[in-house]
Amino acid sequence: MRLRKTFAVATLLVALIAGGAACGGDDSDELEDYEASVVDTRNRVEVAFANISEAQTRADFSKRMEEASVRIERAADDLGEAEVAEGFEDETDKLTKALRGLARDLEATAEQFRLTPELFNTAGLNFEGWTTANQIFTSLGKQGIEVRPLDKH
């Protein structure tokens, strides 16, 4: 009888431990999922910018800027809807705002290029949202999230 009780208690403990592990989740899994979301967002923005740089005409350049704007806005929306690892709420909020601002800036710049063709003679473009997003990517990297800043195009 005593052996049966010991076995029952041991079985109950194993079940509780297994159930607790399955329900509670793992902080490292949460962090890995968050990192994957951030890296996916960064990569989508990178592809959007790379696509702009392949434009062959002025009209194509403006069109690609508008398309990039839409892609970046979607990436920001997806990141904003994704699960955020504990302790990264502020960075995620700032990053989504920076990317949404970047999307608006790209759309407005494309419109300005259509209205003022002389702007195509500009040596380069700077976007505050791009700079801010890179600062946040760098900050996340220092906090253990393996993400690179955006490349220059």
Residue 70 makes CB contacts below 8 A (sequence gap 6+) with 103
What is the per-residue pLDDT across 99-153, written as a single tens digit (0 to 9) for each?
999 999 999 999 998 888 787 777 778 899 999 999 999 999 999 999 999 998 8
- Other beta carbons within 10 angstroms of residue 118's beta carbon come to 7
Cα 109 to Cα 3, 75, 92, 135, 153: the distances in Å are 78, 19, 25, 22, 16
Average pLDDT, whole number, for the chain? Answer: 85
pTM metric for this prediction: 0.78
